[in-house]
Amino acid sequence: MFLRIQNEADKALVDWPKQCMEIAPYLDELLDLTVEFDAVIKDPVARKAGEAGLMLQQFRTQGHDSR
């Protein structure tokens, strides 16, 4: 399985310069999916994902669970 993932990643890296040039004209039109500027996230799934992300960030920076 790791080999398959590695092969797909290698292919993606080879294709990236071309894909980057194709994506560049649309960058201003792409959705901004960040929620950091919304003080209260209303969607329950997004709220739960944000909480999980915060816990992971705390765990990685502190080296332990800070609950």
pLDDT tens by residue, 35-46: 566 666 677 888
**Residue 66 has what pLDDT?**
47
Does residue 37 sit within a domain? yes
Pair of tokens at residue 31: 């959705």
| Cβ–Cβ < 8 Å for 13, 2 | no
Pair of tokens at residue 49: 């994902």
* CA 22 to each of CA 8, 17, 52, 66: distance values in angstroms, whole numbers, following the listed order: 20, 9, 34, 43
Does residue 58 sit within a domain? yes
Q: How much is the pTM? A: 0.35
Q: What tens digit of pLDDT does each residue of 48-64 get?
A: 888 888 888 888 878 65
Instruction: Print the domain residue range for 12.
Output: 2-62
Does residue 67 sit within a domain? no
Please tell me the total count of domains within the chain.
Answer: 1
